[in-house]
Structure 1
Amino acid sequence: MRSPFHLVEMSPWPVFCSVSVVCTVVGFVDWISGGSLCLLFCSVGLLVVVLFQWLRDIIRESNQGWHTSFVASNIRFGMVLFILSEVFFFLDFFWAFFSCSLVPGIEGGAVWPPVGVDSLDPFKIPLLNTAVLLGSGVSVTWAHHAVMVGNRMEALWGLMLTLFLGLYFSMLQGFEYFECSFTVADGVYGSLFYVMTGFHGVHVIMGSMILLVSLWRCFSYGFSSERHIGLEIGIWYWHFVDVVWICLFLCIYWWGGS
């Protein structure tokens, strides 16, 4: 009798993905330190290729019937644990932010934001970004419900709208960085601001990639009302990104910047 569990075969993609991520970080640090973009571009290109190959294998496993109900429940549980680890990842930065802002050091004038730092107006681009990301949460939920009732066209429109809003959010975030009067080198405020918002931006890009794959699978009739776990975990991740941004907006832009 066939086992309901899937014994995954040996795959080179986790190792290649780890190497490409490390090279991407090294290339980014080299670029901001005045180096060339060659290593960064090559690393990002390798990462995209590895992710494409890895996702291709996962989709093939699903099409071959390996994602049984037992496997699907384990995938959901694994995604819950992954999101929980991401919660603690951002919790570390929020802890550092409140530790520095509630008891500001004398080197920054014993005030928060530190002396010489002109914080951003929370009711301009940050508020617009909040509306954009919350709107994307509504559109991705629309796509999820459309898949559940078997309405493929509405699911496609919902996913395309979500991807457009995610791209718009990333563009606004990049524009905000160019308009900032402070840099990552401007004390603890600049470091925490760019690290927290930058990591959130990376999560938005990763979530957009997951939803892009889901859009392609939905376009090629890869989802049904009963089997759409790839879209489901992508939506979970996107909602997590929404919640993190709300916390960033309230704590860093509004409370911490006033």
Structure 2
Amino acid sequence: MTSKPHSYYVPHQSAWPIIGAIGLFLIAFGAGHFVQQLKSGASGGGYILLTGIAVLLFMLVGWFRAVIHESMAGLYSQQMDRSFRQGMSWFIFSEVMFFAAFFGALFYARMFAVPWLGGDANHAMTHAVLWPNFEAIWPLVTTPAGAQTQAMPWTGLPLINTIVLLTSSVTLHFAHVSLEQGKRTPLGLWLGITILLGLGFLFLQVQEYLHAYQEMGLTLTSGIYGNTFFLLTGFHGMHVTLGTVFLLVLLLRVLKGHFTAHSHFAFQAGSWYWHFVDVVWLCLFIFVYVL
């Protein structure tokens, strides 16, 4: 490895950002059409969604490879390392704001919209005009069309998934400690267990969704409760998927002998992201499932 330059490294122009933007656009466009086709019976949205996911994964592989090659070539200075840390910090902050918007929607529905529709002291007319038969209870198991659904209990799969994800934070911490101590074998072992726990979480979430759709009548069309439930858990599942891909890349780098006890910010960034995903799930478990 060559010595690190003292000047700030400016990478060459890259097509990866625009490729990533195209992938995200296809995901958003395809997801919207996929939801609509659930109602209308049309087709095509699912294929667009899968195409977007494939493009995004292609971008991640290519961009990760480029950054890894630059790092292993010794092109990054201490200033570049600080830039990576600041960039990852702001990225996680943006993700916090992303989930805050959805938690805010949940809070607004439960604390404001439901009491208003239920005809509290200040909104009796709203209750009489908009929904005379509405009962101000949460979760809402009756849609405006009169269809009945069920609330997802916090026991069973949600509780198991919570234990699985929190355990993965512990195993990832052990992996990080092993890296700082220069213990390569425990590092790979703990990191591999973390990845398996992440995959297990995703598998159980799919089982939960199947149970919700097939046996509970809980779907995206089940009113505000169904909307917020699937939006929060679905977007979190997407973040777990990306985090698992991130950790898998880190495991491949560990097996190739990358990272040292004093130089491993990529591993640290992956740990930050995974712990953030775990904290979001803990909040989600409390406010969506338990309360």
Common topology (TM > 0.5):
yes
Q: Mean Cα displacement is larger for which, 156-165 or 19-28? A: 19-28
Given the alignment of the two structures, is residue 114 of structure 1 paired with residue 109 of structure 2, yes or no?
Answer: no
Q: CA deviation at 1:8?
A: 2.0
Unaligned runs of 5+ residues in structure 2 are: 119-130, 143-148
Distance 1:70 1:212 in 2: 27
Given the alignment of the two structures, is residue 237 of structure 1 paired with residue 246 of structure 2, yes or no?
Answer: no
Q: CA deviation at 1:24?
A: 2.1
- Residue of structure 2 in register with 1:12 after alignment: 15
Task: Identify the match of residue 129 of structure 1 among 161, 165, 169.
Answer: 161
Distance 2:7 2:176 in 1: 26
Cα distance change on mapping 1:2 and 1:62 into 2, 3 Å? closer
Distance 1:127 1:233 in 2: 27
Q: CA deviation at 1:72?
A: 1.1
Task: Identify the match of residue 261 of structure 2 among 225, 229, 235.
Answer: 225
Distance 2:265 2:196 in 1: 22
Number of matched residues? 255
- Residue of structure 1 in register with 2:171 after alignment: 139
What is the SS of the residue equivalent to 1:226?
coil
- Residue of structure 1 in register with 2:123 after alignment: none
Letter in 2 for 1:197: T
Letter in 2 for 1:231: F
- Residue of structure 1 in register with 2:122 after alignment: none
CA contact (8 A) 2:180 2:261 kept: yes
Q: CA deviation at 1:43?
A: 2.5
TM-score, structure 2 as length reference: 0.84
Q: CA deviation at 1:68?
A: 2.2
Alignment of 1:197-236 (within 5 A): 197-236=233-272
Distance 1:227 1:15 in 2: 30
Given the alignment of the two structures, is residue 195 of structure 1 paired with residue 231 of structure 2, yes or no?
Answer: yes
Alignment of 1:1-258 (within 5 A): 2-32=5-35, 33=37, 34-36=42-44, 37-103=46-112, 104=114, 105-106=117-118, 107=131, 109-116=135-142, 117-180=149-212, 181=216, 182-255=218-291
Distance 1:19 1:200 in 2: 21
Unaligned runs of 5+ residues in structure 1 are: none
Distance 1:170 1:90 in 2: 19
What is the SS of the residue equivalent to 1:66?
coil
Q: Mean Cα displacement is larger for which, 236-245 or 22-31? A: 22-31
Distance 1:187 1:217 in 2: 45
Question: Percent identity between the aligned chains?
Answer: 35
Q: CA RMSD in A?
A: 1.5
Distance 2:76 2:155 in 1: 46
Distance 2:102 2:47 in 1: 30
CA contact (8 A) 1:133 1:242 kept: yes
Q: Relative CO higher for 1 or 2, CA cutoff 8 Å, sep ≥ 6?
A: 1
Distance 1:184 1:195 in 2: 9
Q: CA deviation at 1:64?
A: 1.1
Please identify the structure whose Cα radius of gyration is greater. 2
Cα distance change on mapping 1:63 and 1:138 into 2, 3 Å? same
- Residue of structure 1 in register with 2:125 after alignment: none
CA contact (8 A) 1:109 1:115 kept: no
Distance 1:115 1:160 in 2: 41
